[in-house]
Amino acid sequence: MSTDATTPVPDAFPGPLLRKRKQREEADMDITPMIDITFLLLIFFLVCSTPDQKSSIELPSARHGKGVGEREAVIITLSDEGADLAPVYLADGKIESARLPDDSQQQRGLIEEALKKARQQEGKESVIIKADRNVASREVARIIKAVSAVEGTKIHLAVLESD
C-alpha cells in the first residue's frame, strides 16, 4: 500500500478525546471596605484614647557629668522679648548695660571678643547659654554658632522658666 503526500495518514492510536474546559472568571475580592473600616477604627482609637498623666517619666540623674559653676564660665542670656531676633545679654540675666546690639553680625563679633578675653584673662573655657523657654531654637543655634567660632570652648545650655 502506497500513500501519496496528499492523503492523510490515520494515527494508529488516536488518544482519548479531551473536552475543553470552560474558563472560569477569577473573582477579585474588593478590599476597599476592609481598608475603610481599618482607618475608622484607627481614628476612633486615636481620638478616644487619653494618655495617662500620672505615669510621667522620671529620668535618672546623670552619672558621668558634672555641673558648671557660674564663676568658671561666661554666661550668655537670651530673652523672648524680641520680635525677629531674641535680645542677647552678655551677662547672667537681663541686664540692660550688658545687652548686645540687635545686629546678628555685631553680636557674633562681640561674643567672640568676650570669649577670647575671658579665656586669656580669667582662664574661662566654658560658656553657659541661658534662654527663656519661649526662645526659638534657631536663635539658640545662632548663638551656639557664634560661641563655637572660638576653638576649645565648652558649650552648656540652660532653660529659664517663665515667671
Looking at the domain assignment, is residue 14 inside a domain?
Answer: no
Q: What is the CATH number of the domain that holds 100?
A: 3.30.420.10
Looking at the domain assignment, is residue 103 inside a domain?
Answer: yes
Return phi, psi of residue 126, to 5°: -100, 150
Whether residue 1 has pLDDT greater than 60: no
Looking at the domain assignment, is residue 117 inside a domain?
Answer: yes
Looking at the domain assignment, is residue 92 inside a domain?
Answer: yes
pLDDT in tens, 41-56: 999 998 888 776 666 6
pLDDT in tens, 80-94: 876 677 888 888 777
Rg (CA), the chain: 39
| Range scoring the smallest mean pLDDT among 52-56, 58-62, 141-145 | 52-56
* Higher pLDDT among residues 45 and 61, named by residue: 45
Among 25-29, 38-42, 44-48, top mean pLDDT goes to 38-42
Could you tell me which residues come within 8 angstroms of residue 134 by beta carbon, excluding any fewer than 6 positions away? 80, 162
Looking at the domain assignment, is residue 147 inside a domain?
Answer: yes
Cα distance between the two ends of the chain: 120
Q: How many domains does the chain have?
A: 1
In three-state form (DSSP H/G/I as H, E/B as E, the rest C), the secondary structure along 36-67 is HHHHHHHHHHHHHCCCCCCCCCCCCCCCCCCC
Residue holding cell 475603610?
A: 36
Distances (CA, A) of 125 to 20, 28, 36, 62, 129: 91, 71, 60, 22, 13
Per-residue pLDDT, 12: 61
Tell me the residue range of the domain where 133 lies.
72-160
Looking at the domain assignment, is residue 91 inside a domain?
Answer: yes
Looking at the domain assignment, is residue 76 inside a domain?
Answer: yes
Per-residue pLDDT, 5: 57
DSSP single-letter state for residue 163: -
For residue 140 the three cell numbers come to 539658640
Whether residue 39 has pLDDT greater than 60: yes
Looking at the domain assignment, is residue 30 inside a domain?
Answer: no
